[in-house]
Amino acid sequence: MTDEKTTSRTQVNLVGLSKADYRGNPTTLCQGCGHNSISSQIVAACYELDITPEDIVKFSGIGCSSKSPTYFLSRSFGFNGLHGRMPSLATGALFGDHTLKGLGVSGDGDSASIGMGQFKHVLRRNLRFVYIVENNGVYGLTKGQFSATAEVGLYLKGQGSNPYMPVDIAWEALVGNATFVARSFAGDPKQVKELIKAALSHRGIAVLDIISPCVTFNNKDNAVHSYAWGREHEVALHELSYVPRYEEIMVEYDEGEMEEVTMHDGSKVILKKLEHDYDPCNRAEAMRMLEEANEKQWLLTGLIYIDPDQPSLIDIYNLSETPLNRLTEKRLRPPRESIQQVNDLMF
Ligand SMILES: Cc1ncc(C[n+]2csc(CCOP(=O)(O)OP(=O)(O)O)c2C)c(N)n1
Ligand code: SF4
Ligand SMILES: [Mg+2]
């Protein structure tokens, strides 16, 4: 056994678990698939945040990406839904038990094609939910057809040239009133991990559009969703380090201005700014930056937008502190007098 493996088995976090307790089954995806790298960062983020795996519930739709919840957090409950239907499944389950943290993995086909309607509506409801789109520009599972996020003019063997303009997941999330919008690249594991940690602490919908290359069907160097293009064009909005409340604040970057964003639950996202003085609370500026990035062909990564103050779906319905699925029959059944009062009001 290597030193690294021994350490990861023996070192435990604040809830007494080792990193191995957060892993899932061995992956069956292609070697080098970006989705595998994202699964590893979900494992690392949950371990570092000291989350008890049983407090998370996983969701997905259909696709290679949607298979990946099997490869992390095997101690958490998981629901593999129908194609494009992850949001309604998650809404129902989290409404039933709002004490669980919801984490969903979808694909660009699953969210930007068949599931676009569901995607848009879960945003405006502000469900407390981490919504990861593993975006590779193709339908990987069904052998590489263009998805709605593929760039116009992309040429793929067996598909020809894509004639359509692409859907931009981050843009759709922003105009759809998502309260947390971020973009990253599977080849940048540190940024992916920090963004997942921040998303897990957000009290509303957190959309992470992660460019995740399909090494089998869409990884030519000139393709926007490839490793080579991503590495060459990535422009980070800021260096990002998420620091939970109970950890000592450590800053590992040398220079530059710092900005602290206070989330609804008091936790913090610490941003180190590069030369551009970027404010992720400014929605209009976020839109302008995305538009400029598209024009200049930058892969803009980092926390693009956050609004920690919007009420979530659970706040809007003013649900009882005890989750609905744990209310006893006695508490669910109103007394005879209350029913009489309602009836009296109606007739
Ligand atoms: C209702 C329905 N229509 C079509 C399919 C076929 N199908 C399975 S996965 C998929 C696309 C998956 O693409 P994406 O979400 O991008 O995931 P990836 O495999 O690229 O990770 C399609 C069209 C299906 N399973 N169900
Ligand atoms: S076909 Fe593409 S998306 Fe699917 S597992 Fe292989 S590399 Fe990943
Ligand atoms: Mg895809």
Q: Nearest residue CA, atom 5 of ligand 2?
A: 29
Tokens 């052998």 sit at which residue?
Answer: 143
Is 117 within the bounds of a domain?
A: yes
Mean pLDDT of the chain: 88
Q: Does the CB atom of residue 132 touch ligand 1 within 6 A?
A: no
Is 151 within the bounds of a domain?
A: yes
Is 331 within the bounds of a domain?
A: no
The C-alpha atoms of residue 22 and residue 19 are separated, in whole angstroms, by: 6
Q: Does the CB atom of residue 186 touch ligand 2 within 6 A?
A: no
Tell me, what CATH number does 194's domain have? 3.40.50.970
CA–CA distances in Å: residue 277 to residues 94, 273, 280? 37, 6, 10
pLDDT at 267: 44
Q: Nearest residue CA, atom 2 of ligand 2?
A: 214
Atom of ligand 2 nearest to the CA of 34: 8
Gap from CA of 109 to ligand 2 centroid (Å)? 13
Q: How confident is the model at residue 337 (pLDDT cuts 50, 70, 90)?
A: very high
What single DSSP character describes residue 203? S
Count structural domains, the chain.
1
Q: Please state which of the ranges 80-94, 125-139, 241-255 shows the lowest mean pLDDT.
A: 241-255
Widest distance between CA atoms in the chain: 76
Contact (Cβ atoms closer than 8 angstroms) between residue 238 and residue 278: yes
Contact (Cβ atoms closer than 8 angstroms) between residue 65 and residue 35: yes
| Ligand in nearest proximity to the CA of 35 | 2
Is 347 within the bounds of a domain?
A: no
Q: Which residue segment(s) compose the domain that 103 sits in? A: 3-326
Q: Does the CB atom of residue 85 touch ligand 1 within 6 A?
A: no
Is 298 within the bounds of a domain?
A: yes
- CA 42, distance to chain mean position in Å, is 10
Q: Does the CB atom of residue 69 touch ligand 1 within 6 A?
A: no
Give tens-digit pLDDT for 20-63.
Answer: 999 999 999 999 999 999 999 999 999 999 999 999 999 999 99
Q: Does the CB atom of residue 217 touch ligand 1 within 6 A?
A: no
| Ligand in nearest proximity to the CA of 66 | 1
- pLDDT of 67 > 50? The answer is yes
pLDDT at 276: 58
Is 222 within the bounds of a domain?
A: yes
Is 103 within the bounds of a domain?
A: yes
CA–CA distances in Å: residue 41 to residues 11, 20, 147, 272? 17, 13, 25, 21
Gap from CA of 223 to ligand 1 centroid (Å)? 20
Q: Please state which of the ranges 70-74, 168-172, 259-263 shows the lowest mean pLDDT.
A: 259-263
Q: Does the CB atom of residue 146 touch ligand 1 within 6 A?
A: no
Q: Nearest residue CA, atom 11 of ligand 1?
A: 139
Of 27, 31, 35, the one to substitute when testing ligand 2's pocket (max ligand atoms within 8 A of C-beta) is: 35
pLDDT at 278: 81
Query: What DSSP assignment string belongs to 98-109?
Result: TTSEEEEEEEHH
- Phi, psi for 145 (deg, rounded to 5): -65, 155
The C-alpha atoms of residue 325 and residue 15 are separated, in whole angstroms, by: 25
Contact (Cβ atoms closer than 8 angstroms) between residue 291 and residue 264: no
Q: Does the CB atom of residue 30 touch ligand 2 within 6 A?
A: yes
Q: Does the CB atom of residue 147 touch ligand 1 within 6 A?
A: yes
pTM of the model: 0.89
Is 332 within the bounds of a domain?
A: no
What single DSSP character describes residue 218? B
